[in-house]
Structure 1
């Protein structure tokens, strides 16, 4: 009986790394943005991070216990979901929003579809969009230095370029807990690339197509301030490196990753330029997640020596 094969859910990685090890790398990669968010926004940011992680882990444990399933919290995916959700919350969010979002992410988006490897969209972003739709006012109110004000993207959406791009890069702006500091996000992203947890196909295609889109359709052309502000503003960098690259909800084919990234860039551009909101990364990633099966079907390599289709 020792020769029985161990069947597990996707993603399947041909390496010594386990799912829990990969998730640990992602957690480490998110630490710079998390620590900066706590430094930037104070105790409530730390509280929201603890609450969302706790809600996700406890919910997954309880779900498995009630349905007599194997305990899966040791793979750390619930921790990653909770941390990503917290980093996408405004620092003024209430404790019950954090808990409700964590429960929704695990029960509705993840476990209801079979758990890790079978969810059809990123659980953290699914929960964030649920909270955005349900509590729009609370989710779109941001403060910095105890002053409530518009984010740089909202200022640009209003027709002004009176934004400080250096502050946007370093994180001295209002926004969600983990999205404000591009510098901190890039430090974590470099770590993940170095550890070979992610490659650059999806982020490069995403950012490149988004850049081309805003140059062509924004009306600002090659205006340096506008371009840098759009790249550094909102959740673009956090989404490109930490959520669009999710193994479960992104394509596995090389060409598919590029197509997926291009779609992300186009959707984000459409939402930001022509939508009612200044942001659009969350919805762009979710919509693209839904198209992943079609992308993989269209970009699946054909077996050598065979033609496409049946004869």
Structure 2
């Protein structure tokens, strides 16, 4: 953890926890929590998932080590934050994604978003989320080419994600909610199994690594918004079915538990966490239902990251008050 000393005071970057749990242990817990989803993705998409993940993790650690070396800074690769970022980048791309493009995403996340702003605790937005958006804008074809789940090896054929099918208006072709819950669908490496991500998220909550406020508000908002929308517009599918569909499809589970809860880029106050979760849910559904892009999780989290300092200021003022102007 990066520390600066001012007299008898030691000031360090987040997380600030009065406990034996440090940054390295925290990041190790996150890696453990992501393991179920990683194993499911290997089963669904084949062993290329392992190679892609290793490339992303190695590139992220390598870029952090190289930057610290060139800038004559203390090495921070041991805190495992770069490893977590690399794993999340791998989780946010298709299993067929070219390695060299993934390395560009790691460079953006580690060097541009994290290190140039001062390293862990000083980045304004989530590095992995920003990398995903940059990769999507730069390599749209590769980022939207989804290998068909083969349960053993990555097949040459491709298929649309459930959200892509929905955007095309083919409601009858949507996979069953149970298929999405278990993970037997096309999509990014770490997004396909809602149950695996849920298990990992509950593990982090149990270990008190994250607060349940943001995930509950995020997922709850997506569910309620979808239920109300489809109850109003009607159609051939039930509102309840589509509400469950939207929380299982795409990156809601991954974003809610592993990205929107990032210590550095999420609000500190409980009220701020509520605002963060609801804001992410609302923006996700607005983009999904009326935007040109079928998925909105990444953009919603990025926008709420940008608003986090303002949310913190508002919530601190509402909670503790402030000096009145004479």
TM-score (normalised: structure 1): 0.95
- How many Å separate the matches in 2 of 1:307 and 1:47? 53
Q: Is the 8 A contact 1:45 1:91 kept in 2?
A: yes
User: Does 1:282 find its partner at 2:298?
Assistant: yes
- How many Å separate the matches in 2 of 1:65 and 1:220? 59
Judged with a 3 Å threshold, the aligned counterparts in structure 2 of structure 1 residues 204 and 220 are, in CA distance, closer, same or farther, namely farther
Residue in structure 2 matched with residue 310 of structure 1 by the alignment: 325
Q: Is the 8 A contact 1:161 1:226 kept in 2?
A: no
Residue in structure 2 matched with residue 211 of structure 1 by the alignment: 223
User: Does 1:155 find its partner at 2:171?
Assistant: no
Deviations along 1:89-118, one digit per CA (max 9) or x if unpaired, are: 100101101111111110011001111001
Judged with a 3 Å threshold, the aligned counterparts in structure 2 of structure 1 residues 211 and 303 are, in CA distance, closer, same or farther, namely closer
Residue in structure 1 matched with residue 182 of structure 2 by the alignment: 170
Residue in structure 1 matched with residue 35 of structure 2 by the alignment: 31
Deviations along 1:193-218, one digit per CA (max 9) or x if unpaired, are: 11000111101111122222223335
- How many Å separate the matches in 1 of 2:218 and 2:322? 31
Residue in structure 1 matched with residue 18 of structure 2 by the alignment: 14
Deviates more, 1:59-68 or 1:10-19: 10-19
| SS of 1:187 mapped into structure 2 | helix
Residue in structure 1 matched with residue 243 of structure 2 by the alignment: 227
Deviates more, 1:155-164 or 1:224-233: 155-164
* Aligned counterpart in structure 2 of residue 114 of structure 1, from 109, 115, 118: 118
- How many Å separate the matches in 2 of 1:307 and 1:97? 48
* Aligned counterpart in structure 2 of residue 81 of structure 1, from 81, 85, 91: 85
| Alignment RMSD (CA, Å) | 1.7
Q: Is the 8 A contact 2:227 2:242 kept in 1?
A: no
* Aligned counterpart in structure 2 of residue 48 of structure 1, from 40, 52, 55: 52
Long gaps (5+) in structure 2: none
* Aligned counterpart in structure 2 of residue 242 of structure 1, from 255, 258, 261: 258
Deviates more, 1:78-87 or 1:13-22: 13-22
- How many Å separate the matches in 2 of 1:307 and 1:20? 36
Deviation at 1:223, TM superposition (A): 1.9
Judged with a 3 Å threshold, the aligned counterparts in structure 2 of structure 1 residues 66 and 268 are, in CA distance, closer, same or farther, namely same
Judged with a 3 Å threshold, the aligned counterparts in structure 2 of structure 1 residues 229 and 299 are, in CA distance, closer, same or farther, namely same
TM-score (normalised: structure 2): 0.91
